[in-house]
Amino acid sequence: MCIGIPFEILEPGAARALARSRQGTETIDMRLLGEVPAGTHVLVMTGVARQVLDPDEARRIDDALEAVRLALKGETDLDHLFADLAGREPEMPAAFMETQGDVERD
C-alpha cells in the first residue's frame, strides 16, 4: 500500500523539484504533473508527485497522517488533528441513505 504525503514545492522544475514535507526536504519526480509554481502543494507517492492539492487539503492530509503517527505511539487526544470532524455528528452519504431504505423494507 502506498501512502500519499503532501509536499510544498520550493524549487520548481519540469522533471524534478525540491519540495518540503513534515519529514524534511527532498527532490521529487514531477514528470506526471509537469512544472508547478513554488508554493504549490502536491501529493507524493513513492517519490512521484501525483496530484496538485489546495493548501487546506494538504493540511488535512498532514494532520491525518500525524494522528496515525500519534495513535501508533498510544496517544488518544487526537481531536485537534480532525478539527473539521470533531464535535459534530457524522453525515451518512446519500448513496448509503438510498440503500438503507432498501434494507428497512425487507
Q: Kindly report whether the global pTM for this prediction surpasses the value 0.85.
A: no
Q: What pLDDT is recorded for position 48?
A: 97
Q: What pLDDT is recorded for position 94?
A: 82
Domain 5-81 has CATH 2.30.30.140: yes
Q: What pLDDT is recorded for position 105?
A: 47
- In sign, the C-alpha dihedral spanning 39, 44, 46, 50 is negative
10-residue block means of pLDDT along the chain (106 residues)?
A: 92 97 96 97 97 95 89 84 76 77 52
Q: What pLDDT is recorded for position 106?
A: 47
Q: What pLDDT is recorded for position 60?
A: 92
| Domain ranges within the chain, ordered by starting residue | 5-81
Q: What pLDDT is recorded for position 14?
A: 93
* Enclosing H/E stretch for 63: helix 55-72
Contacts of 23 (CB under 8 A, 6+ apart): 5
Q: What pLDDT is recorded for position 9?
A: 98
Q: What angle do CA 90, 61, 23 make, to 5 degrees?
A: 150
Q: Which residue bears the cell 493548501?
A: 55
Question: What is the full DSSP assignment across 10-54?
Answer: EE--SSEEEEEETTEEEEEE-TTT----TT-EEEEETTEEEEEE-
